[in-house]
Structure 1
Amino acid sequence: MIKSGDEIRQAYLDFFESKGHLILDSAPLIPKDDPTLLWINAGMAPFKPYFNGSLEPPKTRISTSQKCIRTNDIENVGKTARHHTYFEMLGNFSFGDYFKEEAISWAWEFVTEVLELEEDRLWITIYEEDEEAFAIWHDKVGLDEERIVRMGKKENFWQIGTGPCGPCSEIHYDRGPEAGESEEDVLGGEGDRYLEIWNLVFTQYNYTEAGEYQELPNKNIDTGMGLERVASILQATETNFETDLIKPLIDQVVEMSGIDYQKDEQSLTSYRVIADHIRSASVAISDGALPSNEGRGYVIRRLIRRAARYGRKLGFKEPFLYQLVEKTAEIVAAVAPDLKKQLAHVKNVIKSEEKSFLQTLEQGLNILEDILNNLKAENKEVISGQDAFRLYDTYGFPLDLTEDIAAEEGIKVDQKGFEKEMEAQRKRAREARAETSFNNGEIEKIYAEYQDQIEARNFTGYHSLQAKAQIVGLVKAEKAQKSLKAGDKAEIILTKTPFYAESGGQLGDKGVIKNDQFEAEVKDTVKKAEVFVHQVEVKKGKIEVGEEVTAVVYHNRREATARHHSATHLLHKALKEVLGEHVNQSGSLVAPDRLRFDFTHFSALSSQELEELERKVNKAIRENYPVETEIKAIDEAKDMGATALFGEKYGQEVRVVKMGDFSLELCGGTHVRATGDIGAFKIINESGIAAGVRRIEAVTGEYALDYFNSKLELLNQLAAELKTDPNNLLQRVKQVKKEQKELEKELETMKEKLAGSKKDDLIDQLEEVAGINLLTAELEDLDNSALRNLTDQLKDKIDSGIIVLASKGENKVIFVASVSEDLIAKGFKAGNIIAQVAKIAGGGGGGRPDMAQAGGSKPENTSAALAEVKNIIKENK
């Protein structure tokens, strides 16, 4: 009997393969070429171009098990039986092929015959006006009328704005009265009794701006079945969290913490949140996401921080989440195999982020302490909603923790104000998050219409930089045109083209499109709906659709770009050899004048590692390996050991680029004929761009030569400035540094002598405050050492007292405080005094009871800060 999550997934895919569906791997969680989505959030999301008609699918029937992320209900995760941020959606799709009868019949066949769910526990909901669906369920499938429940538009009609839409039919499983008997435990309710397991969407209408539902000529099927939900039924678990898709993670955390899973409601929620969020974060990071302060990076950061917060409730004070990544990789291996390949990288990212957050949490505690102190000073008893939300949003400080700590001080939190701020953030998120929409494909459709008019192998630029072609499309301001004239900035589509369109990090070609009466400069070449689009500025003449032209790519620019692209392949291989196989490309830019290569690695590269990389790449260049390309079946290419670049979508056939025995990658870009054509390779910068991601910038060919020459010129200029020969420059710099150090030492000695000469004058400023000797003074341009020495000298002159000196410099001030032993015994401590003083000058500090120092960023407040010492003495006397 089918039971495990892996078995359910495989059974589903096998079933629909038997129905003529093409089985595709799950797409990465990060949408490709779709700015409207933050994450892939449904099984249909990767297929939007097929649904809206801008691209032709590889087959009209497709089935997948798609990994998804949704965070709109993140606050409910762990508190309900079935809310998740990460989940798998099983789906079968028809693009103008089969429709309702097949979709409904196959769904029923799968749940009753393959999964063997009891028919008397299954209920069907349909859109109340969908008589066709009712007839199929009743007459074809044979269900009793009372088991087919009609529902309104809100429950059973899929529509987002204008565009394609249609009715739905859902399959629900009755878990029995023991699962719940509240008002919510009804079909379509939020209770736990009736579990929706499969939604069948019948996309048959186009909703117009005029409010009309027009029948689509090509109707589509989009279905979604939650794997975790079905697993909970077949494994007879109370919630999704006890299934084999999640429970092994909970078991591992239980073993680590020693606290029972169901000890109490807090523990239960904590375990579930941790297990859910580590799945999301791990798979998302393996798909290329990284923690940051915006976009999907912020989502990852929030997930890790929420999980870490709940870990504290279970007693974890040190990073622990990274230890769950291996178990996660085992659980999701069938749908997210890349996680296992990137274990070290994902663990490092999560550990680093969690460690950083725990430090941030300490910052939050300090800020909360300041808030409480200020409230007490002002005799207030409520932390504002704005302050509570700032702690939550900026420092990941949970509201309940803020409330607990505040309660110890007799202070409450404005919960309504907090919720108001939270709702404002949710609103901003909703407005920023574009849900799956077909309308964004309207512009793409303009270009998709040209697909049938261009040649099958329309890119000729691998072998020639010039081609004669016919104009099939002219587009200006996103509208098709019949002609263009001089001065127009527009787009041209040709039957074939030698121009490479921007892809895989390589910039698009530039050049000219011309004939005897017309000339346009190609400013860039891009792909839209898989059509090569030449973005041009018309220089002279007039052109019309259908005319013959000659397309010419700028030769020098293309050759320079090819040198940098081929160098990225050599660099990628060299990085793996020098740093390890965990290195993977996570982004690139290939331009005529430089290359930029982003890769997964968790620490800065040493000078020795950078030298080794350059040595390996330049050796491969000198070997002059031939650069060979072949078209291979994707599986054959992978069997050859070809490296597939992360995030790229590959068809059934791929282009393999081989550089001798050194490099073998899948790539559609343009390259040199042999590695020797690259000439030379020089790294000009290495930096970190995100947690776990480094960036190398380099130049090749003539640009490498220009780089060397510019450095040599700089060397000559420095030598001339220091009046020496370039060969003696290092020795001369050492000599200058030595002379500078001696001069600085002389200057400090003079400053100390000058300060010491002032001590008698300063003693005269001694005053008595509340029976205590106090000396405060404001000086100029003394460093910490000189100020401390002067304080010590003054202390020797005063048997009992408090000394606070300040020295102002440019944009800063430093303070030193000293307290005699007898006054320390009376409760005066230098560290406490200096902290209060420095705060007024925009800084902070501390130290021992007898001696302390601090700094401030507001020297203009120095006088006010020193004046505060008198208040401190009076308050503590």
Structure 2
Amino acid sequence: MKTMTAAEIRNTWLSFFESKRHRIEASASLVPQNDPTLLWINAGVAPLKKYFDGTETPPNPRLVNVQKCIRTNDIEHVGKTARHHTFFEMLGNFSIGDYFKKEAIQWGFELLTDPKWFGFPQDKLYMTYYPDDEEARQHWLDCGVDPTHVIPRSDNYWEIGPGPCGPDTEIYFDRGEAHDTRGIELLEQDIENDRYIEIWNIVFSQFNAKPGLTRDQYPELPNQNIDTGAGLERFACVIQGTETNFETDLFFPIIKHTEALSGVPYEGQMAYKVIADHVKALVFAISDGAILSNEGRGYVLRRLLRRAVKYGRQLNLNEPFLYRLVDDVVDTMGVFYQNLHETKDIVAKLILKEEEKFLETINEGEKHLMEAIAKEGDTVSGQTAFKLYDTYGFPIELTLEYAEELGVKVDEHAFQQALEEQKKRSRSARSVKGGMKTQEEAYLKFKTSSLFIGYETLQAEAKVIKVFPEGIILDQTPFYAASGGQVADEGTINGLTVTDVIKLPNGQHLHVVEGDLTEGDEVLAIVDAKKRQRTIRNHSAAHLFHQAIKDIMGKHTNQQGSQVAPKAWRFDFNHYETEGDQTILEVERLVKHHIHDEPLDVNIRHMSLDDARQYGALALFGEKYGDVVRVVDMGWSKELCGGTHVDNTRQIIDFAITSYESIGSGIYRMEGVTGPDLKADMTTYLEPIDNERQLLEDKITRLSPKADLPKAPVVTGSYQDIINGRQHLSLLKDIIRQLEKEINLQKQHDVLKRLDDFITDPANKRQLVITHDIDGRILKQLMDALYDKIKAEVIFIANVNDDKVTFLCKSALGNADVLIKKAAGLTDGSGGGKPHMAQGGTSHKDKLEAALKAIEELL
């Protein structure tokens, strides 16, 4: 058997199947594209589903890939076992209606045993198969495999409900008795062990599972497919002869650097393995555009980072360290995954920022957890666990892990109860929608249909079909209910103002009305056309903006929240770093281009979710979509969306970005305006800048009445106005700094020119000097000048301002601090310093005279 690096294993796999006329598919992003059903790409076949389910024709019926994957369902096992990982690479070969069982098995045997390829010893390989799949067994025997190495096992069948399914065959490598003295019964009885390592699974997608039928009754599929998966980490462990996957070249460079940072020798500790695994997952996921947050995949990443930090503390790594390992991940994996080099700097920054935040949390949480364990004994109460989570941000997973290490339990049931109670309190606190929750059962039971006709018309005659305490339901309505980021329509029903429109669980629109209507009333519903028009302009602009940031900042940018209203649009998105002004202007210019220079028709299309994905429409993770979806198609931009839009982007009229800010770790927000009144709207957004400008100009005038004020920038209707405004403020501040510098220099000159005015007796080497309204910096210079002029032993200055007195003392006798403390004490002030230089002050001017008499006596 050849000794190979992980890179050589990848290349051998791809080269072999390429020689068998397979097309090499590049690894897809870990963040699923246009598939809201997946949290992560978790298998080699996942990004190829579109070929297997027939929604898209593959470029070649034979495909091969090395796919990066993340699975976190077994996170607690990572580091405890030799082979569990969150991030891993899946080697796969696939046939979509082309070759089947015979070729899959023959080629598998050739790749594994031929010295030209991997060259595994044939006697070390064992195969399991489904007992009824005699064909698969025979193909293995035809390859020359010892019959005692081909083992039937009833669990060798791939099936996940109705649909394609079939038997599979698994290939194992025997690492020998050193890893377990037990023999073939480990495979026959499917006993977990470290001797026989599964390295490859080949699935024969052969049958169509149907409810009510047994497996031997399933009909065969018209097209039979091959789907295989081999873990690169396991291959590397076997080929490189390491004890676990973590000693292979896929992990060990990371472990060695961690060892160097910690000073604790690596002897197989779980902490090292957790850190190496989790930091790889973090680097790859963030590089692919995932963000650290408190929900969805962002929460998974945050949990991985926090778990790694927590295990780092076992290795005396009490300061941020994960960010230091980013280069090791890139050095180890970057030859095959080139994009890691492009993103490594920002990935390291994001990880460092998150580490620093969490270390603050963990220090506080640990302290309170230990105090709780000392008080509560062998079980941490649910209330304590919830307080740690809610008050200190200490994750329940960490509480559970700490408890396990310390041999105590956590009342998880009580924790979940406390968490649910908090959610209920939060829901009940929401104004109208909070009140709605108390009606939830009534809403769920109300199933009479109500038709939304607001895409076609803004006015309709309708009938009140239901009255709830919070509002009314009409049999048909032109009013859009708040959803998908678009705010609800405003308007009237029979002259009564509609203040909100809320979508109920069964799809009806609840109209919140200022006034009373009764069931059966015939009404006239009128949407405020001007506000709707402004809203649809902003909504269509938000779609253009989304596509623009993808084109300019990168495909990884995805919507993380939005609001489109009559006055403005707001869009939250993930990104690696804060962009400069020129990038923001570039985004703005691209959107303006598709409004003014190359306007786009906006078409609404209805299709299946699978067809929409195939069509290239963006689907947002976490959104719930039905069997038929609505696609807003602008050609350049395609999104699944139920909102209202313009017919052509020229109807947006104009577009400007008004603000750009970071609102969290890796999350940014932009806001903007559209329409014919854009310049006037920009003036509103410039008000804070204008207010500050007025204050600065007033200050300049006070400092120098004859100063020339630079003209304020002209509003053009662009983000450039914001940039110009900021630059103008900076210019005014520079002018103020220069004027203040000149004024202070003049004051200093004037004060120092009058030194003799401050000296009552030049022969007295111990002077008490009283001054008025002298700047603190000039006061220090005055004291030094006086001290030098009379070659003083002690200079004590009391500078009187409107609201306070400042004491300053310089002494060759070493009593400056004594004198300052004396003056401060007599005036209820404060002060201190060194024997030769000290200062203090007081706001009690009424006690100054007595204090100065006392100082004079001491002098």
TM-score by length of 2: 0.55
State the Cα distance separating 1:622 from its structure 2 match: 10
CA distance in 2, matches of 1:347, 1:367: 30
Partner residue of 1:251? 256
Which of the residues 353, 371, 378 maps onto 1:382?
Answer: 378
SS at match of 2:192: coil
Counterparts in 2 of 1:669 and 1:83: CA distance versus 1, 3 Å: closer
SS at match of 2:395: helix
Counterparts in 2 of 1:236 and 1:189: CA distance versus 1, 3 Å: same
The letter of the residue matching 1:704 is L
Moved more, 182-191 or 170-179: 182-191
Partner residue of 1:173? 173
State the Cα distance separating 1:57 from its structure 2 match: 2.4
CA distance in 2, matches of 1:48, 1:371: 49
State the Cα distance separating 1:260 from its structure 2 match: 0.8
Please list the CA deviations of residues 91-145 of structure 1 after superposition, one character each: whole Å capped at 9, or x if unmatched: 0111111110111111111111110001111111110110111121113x12232
CA distance in 1, matches of 2:8, 2:293: 36
CA distance in 2, matches of 1:5, 1:126: 28
Partner residue of 2:741? none
Partner residue of 2:202? 200
CA distance in 1, matches of 2:417, 2:259: 34
Counterparts in 2 of 1:557 and 1:103: CA distance versus 1, 3 Å: farther
CA distance in 1, matches of 2:50, 2:569: 33
CA distance in 2, matches of 1:602, 1:585: 11
| Number of residues of Structure 1 aligned to a counterpart in Structure 2 | 542
CA distance in 1, matches of 2:373, 2:55: 58
Q: Is the 8 A contact 1:568 1:595 kept in 2?
A: no
Counterparts in 2 of 1:111 and 1:615: CA distance versus 1, 3 Å: closer
SS at match of 1:190: coil
Counterparts in 2 of 1:62 and 1:256: CA distance versus 1, 3 Å: same
CA distance in 1, matches of 2:80, 2:124: 26
State the Cα distance separating 1:558 from its structure 2 match: 10
CA distance in 2, matches of 1:92, 1:169: 14
Partner residue of 1:116? 119
Counterparts in 2 of 1:203 and 1:22: CA distance versus 1, 3 Å: same
Pair 1:585-2:557 in alignment: yes
Matches within 5 A, 1:273-292: 273-292=274-293
Counterparts in 2 of 1:186 and 1:668: CA distance versus 1, 3 Å: same
Q: Is the 8 A contact 2:97 2:225 kept in 1?
A: yes
Partner residue of 1:824? none
State the Cα distance separating 1:74 from its structure 2 match: 1.5
CA distance in 2, matches of 1:560, 1:288: 26
CA distance in 2, matches of 1:258, 1:250: 12
Please list the CA deviations of residues 577-617 of structure 1 after superposition, one character each: whole Å capped at 9, or x if unmatched: xxxxx9973448798974736352456x8xxx659945995
Counterparts in 2 of 1:291 and 1:565: CA distance versus 1, 3 Å: closer
Partner residue of 2:9? 8
SS at match of 1:177: coil
State the Cα distance separating 1:362 from its structure 2 match: 1.9
Partner residue of 1:191? 193
Partner residue of 2:64? 63
Partner residue of 1:150? 152
State the Cα distance separating 1:280 from its structure 2 match: 0.9
Please list the CA deviations of residues 755-774 of structure 1 after superposition, one character each: whole Å capped at 9, or x if unmatched: xxxxxxxxxxxxxxxxxxxx
Q: Is the 8 A contact 1:123 1:172 kept in 2?
A: yes
Q: Is the 8 A contact 1:566 1:678 kept in 2?
A: no
Pair 1:20-2:21 in alignment: yes
Partner residue of 2:222? 217
Matches within 5 A, 1:838-877: none
Counterparts in 2 of 1:676 and 1:53: CA distance versus 1, 3 Å: closer
Please list the CA deviations of residues 661-701 of structure 1 after superposition, one character each: whole Å capped at 9, or x if unmatched: xxxxx96669x9xx999976532333334412312222345
Partner residue of 2:138? 135
What is the aligned-residue identity percentage? 39
Moved more, 618-627 or 200-209: 618-627
Partner residue of 1:445? none
Partner residue of 1:242? 247
Pair 1:317-2:318 in alignment: yes
State the Cα distance separating 1:339 from its structure 2 match: 2.4
State the Cα distance separating 1:705 from its structure 2 match: 3.7
Please list the CA deviations of residues 533-576 of structure 1 after superposition, one character each: whole Å capped at 9, or x if unmatched: xxxxxxxxxxxxxxxxxxxxx99999988877666777778x87
Counterparts in 2 of 1:96 and 1:90: CA distance versus 1, 3 Å: same
SS at match of 1:201: strand
State the Cα distance separating 1:421 from its structure 2 match: 7.7
SS at match of 2:186: coil
Please list the CA deviations of residues 275-309 of structure 1 after superposition, one character each: whole Å capped at 9, or x if unmatched: 01111111111112222222211211111111111
Please list the CA deviations of residues 354-387 of structure 1 after superposition, one character each: whole Å capped at 9, or x if unmatched: 21111111221343255257x3xxxx64333636
Counterparts in 2 of 1:158 and 1:400: CA distance versus 1, 3 Å: closer
CA distance in 2, matches of 1:351, 1:58: 42
The letter of the residue matching 1:168 is D
Counterparts in 2 of 1:359 and 1:346: CA distance versus 1, 3 Å: same
SS at match of 1:105: helix
State the Cα distance separating 1:344 from its structure 2 match: 2.0
Moved more, 188-197 or 124-133: 188-197
Partner residue of 2:673? 699
CA distance in 1, matches of 2:555, 2:357: 23
The letter of the residue matching 1:21 is H
SS at match of 1:336: coil
Counterparts in 2 of 1:149 and 1:623: CA distance versus 1, 3 Å: closer
SS at match of 1:23: strand
Q: Is the 8 A contact 2:574 2:668 kept in 1?
A: yes
TM-score by length of 1: 0.54
**Which runs of 5 or more structure 2 residues have no equivalent in the other structure?**
420-474, 478-483, 487-531, 601-615, 621-634, 640-645, 703-859
CA distance in 1, matches of 2:146, 2:555: 59
Q: Is the 8 A contact 2:172 2:196 kept in 1?
A: yes
Partner residue of 1:598? 573
CA distance in 2, matches of 1:565, 1:233: 50
Q: Is the 8 A contact 2:547 2:637 kept in 1?
A: no
Counterparts in 2 of 1:601 and 1:243: CA distance versus 1, 3 Å: closer
Q: Is the 8 A contact 1:565 1:590 kept in 2?
A: no
Which of the residues 236, 259, 274 maps onto 1:231?
Answer: 236
The letter of the residue matching 2:557 is Q
Partner residue of 2:351? 350
Please list the CA deviations of residues 637-665 of structure 1 after superposition, one character each: whole Å capped at 9, or x if unmatched: xxxxxxxx99999xxxxxxxxxxxxxxxx
The letter of the residue matching 1:413 is V
Please list the CA deviations of residues 38-97 of structure 1 after superposition, one character each: whole Å capped at 9, or x if unmatched: 211111111223222333323211111011111122122112111111111100111111
CA distance in 1, matches of 2:106, 2:162: 29
Q: Is the 8 A contact 2:548 2:590 kept in 1?
A: no
Please list the CA deviations of residues 722-747 of structure 1 after superposition, one character each: whole Å capped at 9, or x if unmatched: xxxx9899969x99xxxxxxxxxxxx
State the Cα distance separating 1:249 from its structure 2 match: 0.5
CA distance in 1, matches of 2:283, 2:277: 10
Superposed CA RMSD in Å reads 4.8
Partner residue of 1:367? 368
CA distance in 1, matches of 2:180, 2:399: 31
Q: Is the 8 A contact 2:382 2:413 kept in 1?
A: no
CA distance in 2, matches of 1:18, 1:668: 39
SS at match of 2:671: strand
